[in-house]
Amino acid sequence: MAEQPPQRVAVIGGGPAGLMAAEILLQAGLQVDLYDAMPSVGRKFLLAGRGGLNLTHAEPMPRFVTRYGARQSDIEPLLREFGPTELRAWVQGLGLTTFVGSSGRVFPIDMKAAPLLRAWLHRLRHPADGRSGVHFHMRHRWTGWVPDGSALSFDTPQGAHTVQPDALVLALGGGSWARLGSDGAWMRLLGERGVGLAPLKPANCGFDGLGWSDYFAKRYAGQPFKTVAVSLTDQAGRQFQRKGEFVATATGVEGSLIYAVADLLRDEIERAGHAMLTLDLLPDLPPERVLAEVRHPRGSKSLTSHLKSRLGLDGIKVAVLHEVLGSEGMHNPQQLAAAIKHLGLRLVAARPIDEAISSAGGVRFDALTSDLMLKDLPGVFCAGEMLDWEAPTGGYLLTACLASGRRAAAGVQRWLAR
């Protein structure tokens, strides 16, 4: 009997989820064609790792899975198959070593994304067993299906192109950083086919609304608030409190501590029109101590010198107190001490989605099987940031993207076998 040719799977999207799906499919002996609209793959991955590639986090799994918030029950099964431990072993298999930083974040030893991506692409193009590798098709922008739904259509530099794979994995990213390929254009294509979608929203983003004075905006935009704590209780009763740092912008705030609470801030603004974030400028000191130090006689010292010598407050921390309290409030010891521990910051808008590190929304989980196949489009699987989930920075995004790529690829194998 003549040997049957391998079944052909198309993967659209050359980010981490798409590349991982391609790798698992290739290992299963399938022919894999990967399409991407950009000139090269992994562009957002490379930019995200420019300041140090945060692969995952070393905290215990019971705590790790809570970082996915309302989507924990959907993401946790994927992470049980491929979580932080498996990710580090996978990186080691590419010939790279990882280490755990002081914050628990996991990085490659050289901190860079490019060596990992090069090693990964080499393995995808040249499998160790000598078989044909993944076929990469760059500058192929997916435009949906041909009218009768029998084939995929692409715009390419050479004109329109169609393909008829046996199965399809979509890993098209979310809606942030459109210049790198994640423009959310697929929302319309899937919406036209009746797929259940949640609107794309900014995640891990900055916020506006503080109305800084011109002096503060020019003098302190880009400077960090270090060793502070923020807290928020929204109208739904959800609570957040964490210590860390964030950065002032010309119109508001951004940075790691803000990204960690961004989902609550964004949702509260949608419900109420604004959100009140409480800032503790001295989280390691109790209110009684702060009040005592503020009230301590300062003699001929200026208030600024007094706050620096007694409490270590200076720079942007004193400046933000001036912004909120004004001169009269600054010279009221009771009011000043209270503001140092509980300074209200009123935020009214998230920054645009294209500025966000990631996005929420996308393909709803109730539109998918447990193998991440679209219920209404058999043979079409989805993975990565285009699914309706979000997570803070710290390696959580990348880990779940890779895990979803693996689950989708395993789902393809099971579907083709049936």
Q: 13-48 pLDDT, tens per residue? A: 999 999 999 999 999 999 999 999 999 999 999 988
**Which has the closest alpha carbon to 170: 375, 357, 363, 395?**
363
Query: Do residue 93 and residue 123 come from a single domain?
Result: yes
Amino acid 376: pLDDT: 95
Within a domain: 125: yes
Query: Do residue 345 and residue 232 come from a single domain?
Result: yes
Return mean pLDDT, the chain: 95
Query: Do residue 222 and residue 317 come from a single domain?
Result: yes
CATH code at position 191: 3.50.50.60
CA distance 135 to 65: 34
Within a domain: 3: no
Within a domain: 363: yes
Within a domain: 2: no
pLDDT at 2 over 70: no
Q: Which of 350, 372, 390 is the last residue of a domain?
A: 350
**Which has the closest alpha carbon to 330: 292, 302, 289?**
302
For 139-196, what is each residue's pLDDT tens digit? 999 999 999 989 999 999 999 999 999 999 999 999 998 888 889 999 999 999 999 9
Query: Do residue 398 and residue 255 come from a single domain?
Result: no
Helix pair 316-330, 303-311: axis angle to 10 deg = 130
**Which has the closest alpha carbon to 32: 127, 148, 154?**
127
Query: Do residue 287 and residue 165 come from a single domain?
Result: no
For 306-338, what is each residue's pLDDT tens digit? 999 999 999 999 999 999 999 999 999 999 999
Whether the CB-CB separation of 318 and 339 falls below 8 Å is answered with no
CA distance 241 to 244: 10
Query: Do residue 167 and residue 121 come from a single domain?
Result: yes
Within a domain: 21: yes
Q: Which of 350, 365, 392 is the last residue of a domain?
A: 350
Query: Do residue 377 and residue 283 come from a single domain?
Result: no
138 secondary structure, DSSP code:
-
Q: What domain count does the chain have?
A: 2
136: tokens are 């990469």
pLDDT at 63 over 80: yes
Query: Do residue 45 and residue 185 come from a single domain?
Result: yes
Per cent of the chain over pLDDT 90 is 89
- Sequence-distant (≥ 6) Cβ neighbours of residue 202 within 8 angstroms: 176, 262, 266, 350, 351, 352, 353, 355, 356, 359, 360
For 262-275, what is each residue's pLDDT tens digit? 999 999 999 999 99
CA distance 326 to 324: 6
Range of the domain at 136: 8-202+357-417
Query: Do residue 339 and residue 224 come from a single domain?
Result: yes
Amino acid 1: pLDDT: 52
> Using 50, 70 and 90 to split pLDDT, how confident is the model at 243?
very high
Within a domain: 411: yes
Query: Do residue 27 and residue 163 come from a single domain?
Result: yes
For 341-375, what is each residue's pLDDT tens digit? 999 999 999 999 999 999 999 999 999 999 999 99
CA distance 106 to 116: 14
Query: Do residue 31 and residue 169 come from a single domain?
Result: yes
Query: Do residue 311 and residue 331 come from a single domain?
Result: yes
- The dihedral built from the CA positions of residue 66, 198, 138 and 373, taken in this order, carries a sign that is positive
Per cent of the chain over pLDDT 70 is 99
Residue 89: CB atoms within 10 A of its CB come to: 11
Within a domain: 281: yes
> Using 50, 70 and 90 to split pLDDT, how confident is the model at 64?
very high
Q: Which range has highest mean pLDDT (1-15, 177-191, 281-295)?
A: 281-295
Q: Which of 335, 350, 365 is the last residue of a domain?
A: 350
Within a domain: 1: no
Rounded average pLDDT over 290-311: 94
